[in-house]
A and B are shown apart, each in its own frame.
Chain A
Amino acid sequence: MSLLAVHTLSKSFGGVQAVKDVSFELAAGEMLALIGPNGAGKTTCFNMLNGQLKADTGTVLFDGKELIGLNPRTIWRLGIGRTFQITATFASMTVRENVQMALLSHHRKVFSLWPRAADSFKEEADGLLDQVGMLHQADRACGILAYGDLKRLELSIALAHGPKLLLMDEPTAGMAPQERITLMELVSSIVKNTDISVLFTEHDMDVVFAHSDRLMVLNRGEIIAAGTADEIRNNDLVKEVYLGGGSTFDAGEKGAVHA
């Protein structure tokens, strides 16, 4: 049985159909990429999956449970983690404290008034940081980290409650080429080791083709193609609306001009 089953998901804003009849399934341990031009509805899809937006119609079954109508916090507790396009971390805390915060919430301790937060779940936090190679920076202030390190920190925060599914919104946006490869290799290895599933959006086609088991292409709110990297690469419709006629995706990922 698939971990995530999305069926005829739709959403419109003021008469504009942002997402139209989107259906797909995601198996445990699978990395699924969602690609398409800006404004195609990728972020809207994401926001419906994690409860920030309420879908107009459709169902989302996660591990057999309906997610539509649940708020983001409940969905998180069911085992779905999330990273953002622009990293969202706690700048005024140390790296370790960032992870401890997620652990404190997972263990429902955020209303505790007396014990020191910095002493709580320290080993667990260090283990998570080690997993993403950030342990040596555990005591540094998060506010002074390099962007690539912030991305890794965010990943370990998202993994803190042992999620079964990770939603990653443009995980490599704003990173240097080498950093992109390192980060996605890290994600791939975590997927292999833990059987976690990943659904991600991405603009960098090299990342997409190298690190996804399957791809879906969204255009004007609809899925116009789904399949393996090769199938998508050779799909005429996808070439026409997104990848372009030439071999533009080794240099850029946006629409191409037919020269």
Chain B
Amino acid sequence: MASDKHFDEVTGTETTGHVWDGDLRELNKPLPKWWLYVLYACIVWSIGYWAVYPAWPTMSDYTKGYWNYSQRAAVTQEVADAKAAQDKYRVALSQTPLADVGKNPELLQFALAGGQATFGENCAACHGRGAQGGVGYPNLNDDDWIWGGQLDNIQQTISYGIRSGHAKTRDSAMPRFGLDGALDAAKIGDVANYVRSLSGLEADKTAAGRGAAVFAENCAVCHGADGKGNQELGAPNLTDGIWLYGNGQENVVTSISTGRGGIMPAWDARLDPVSVKMLAVYVHSLGGGK
């Protein structure tokens, strides 16, 4: 036996006896036995998991474990708990008039947070994550409102939608002046020049002059004689710096020729009244609320 032993010269430690590449040896530094026992204890412990947690698949099901634990059940419970924790605020919100939510900082904070979450899930698809909108989809951050920017205006729009088919929907129709032959191309060009001149955009002055008469005759009934629009009818203000469908001459010509009429779904069937209320508060808070 003694001849089997080999000791490393530098450290004086016995080697394992294995030799690689002719001279490479491994020092034998045995682990303590308790370390091994800890490993065995961990294995025994882990077997306990089979017993208490879901572990083995069966033909049609799986072993449920002694604790009958399920992550799905746990998360359902957590969601229910979170809802229960929100109840206090939701009840208070349902009892608070919309205009008074802002007077209670705690309630306001809850409504803003809840509104933001609801917005992200339901509204962001069209209006964008930051409510910045896009061509044809209004930017909700700005101070220009087609159907009104007061809290109750916003709440109504969210609840019943715009041209949504809901009985109480906001509705109006802009005529297709070009397509339906009400105005010829020359008149449309003139009135487009006039409309652009209203907001200080570069326009052909002569054409705009001719367009003024066309405007008074065809457009002023909804958009107002001064072009400042009418929120009752969802007729946009044409004198400001915000253009939902673009402010280029060709954009305005298209709008007049084909008419415009965005559609927004009614949310009262999909969202509960408190969520709509929170959304209204949130949208109003984005900066343009009146």
Q: Are these two chains actual partners, yes or no?
A: no
Please list the residues of chain B having a beta carbon within 8 angstroms of any beta carbon in chain A: none
